[in-house]
């Protein structure tokens, strides 16, 4: 590597466009059991997200909260 090639600037990446952001999202149905506990993620525009987990782990509840099917009154956030 020459001094000239080492001095070349690396092009900056374009800013990320976030399509969906969840930050410290939790859901308690009132029985003391958390359906979703402190979930956080950012999903860039044009990307896919897979939510994996066993039955009863809160996958559907998280998607319902993102879609707006669960009211904000039902959602708790630390």
Mapped onto helix, strand or coil, the DSSP state of residue 42 is strand
Please indicate whether residue 53 or residue 8 has the higher confidence score (pLDDT).
53
CB 15 within 8 Å of CB 52: no
Contact predicate 15/24, CB 8 Å: no
Q: How many whole angstroms separate alpha carbon 60 and alpha carbon 78?
A: 21
Predicted pLDDT of residue 2: 57
User: What pLDDT, in 10s, does the model give residues 20-46?
Assistant: 888 888 888 888 888 888 899 999 999
Q: For the range 1-6, what are the long-range contacts, defined as Cβ-Cβ under 8 Å and sequence gap of 24 or more?
A: none
The answer to whether 33 and 73 have CB atoms below 8 angstroms apart is no
- Alpha carbons 50 and 35: distance in angstroms, whole number: 18
């Amino acid at each position: 590597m020459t001094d000239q090639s080492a001095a070349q600037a690396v092009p900056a990446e374009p800013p990320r466009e976030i399509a969906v952001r969840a930050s410290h999202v939790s859901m308690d149905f009132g029985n003391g059991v958390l359906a979703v506990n402190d979930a956080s993620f950012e999903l860039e525009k044009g990307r896919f997200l897979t939510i994996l987990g066993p039955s009863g782990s809160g996958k559907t509840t998280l998607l319902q909260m993102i879609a707006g099917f669960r009211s904000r009154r039902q959602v708790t956030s630390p």
